[in-house]
Amino acid sequence: MEKRKWEAKVSTRLENASSDQIWPFLKDFFSLHKWFPGLPTCYGIHGTNGEPGCVRYCAGFSLPSIDGATVSWSKERLIEIDHVERNLSYEILDCNTGFKSYVASMKIIPAADGCGGWQIEWRFEVDPVVGWRLEDLVPKYEIGLQLMVKKMEASISDSSY
């Protein structure tokens, strides 16, 4: 019997920034380490940053590795990017975290509360990971996205005069 893929969506409201201000950070595929907590390393290893087909290498401490290594890593390919709709999707090509068939998307959308403003939505689909439960993985994405947005907004605030 085949196991169903895990699917999840998390989102965080932009409190102190517009979609125009946040999109340049999000679309910079090779610079996730500047914003995402527990990810000190991210750089391009193939292609041109922000163009479909480019590949980044990410390494950090936010997820445990399945091989017992101190640092978890992944190689991720940008599948598509839409600058008008402000969304991108990517896939993991290789990693030591146990993710197989991982595809994710990040997009900036109108806030769901109907009060105006914007939010970032992060969706992913992945084959079940041995030793993990989806219920344990989703909070890591929620917290990571919240902290990432706060860091982006702080950067905008710090650069304002």
C-alpha distances in Å from residue 61, one per residue of 33, 34, 131: 12, 14, 17
For the chain, first and last CA: distance in Å? Answer: 60
DSSP string, 124-152: EEE---TT--HHHHHHHHHHHHHHHHHHH
Q: Residue 33 carries which DSSP code?
A: G
* Overall fold of domain 6-159: Alpha-D-Glucose-1,6-Bisphosphate; Chain A, domain 4 (3.30.530)
The band of 78, judged by pLDDT with boundaries at 50, 70 and 90, is very high
Three-class HEC string of 98-131 = CCCCCEEEEEEEECCCCCCCEEEEEEEEECCCCC
d(CA 104, CA 158): 30
Which pLDDT belongs to residue 2?
58
Quick check: 148 and 40 in contact, CB under 8 A? no
d(CA 50, CA 36): 17
pLDDT for 88 beyond 80? yes
pLDDT for 160 beyond 70? no
Quick check: 129 and 98 in contact, CB under 8 A? yes
Which pLDDT belongs to residue 73?
95
pLDDT tens digit sequence for 9-67: 999 999 999 999 999 999 999 999 999 998 999 999 999 999 999 999 999 987 777 77
pLDDT for 108 beyond 80? yes
pLDDT for 161 beyond 50? no
pLDDT tens digit sequence for 114-143: 777 899 999 999 999 988 899 999 999 999
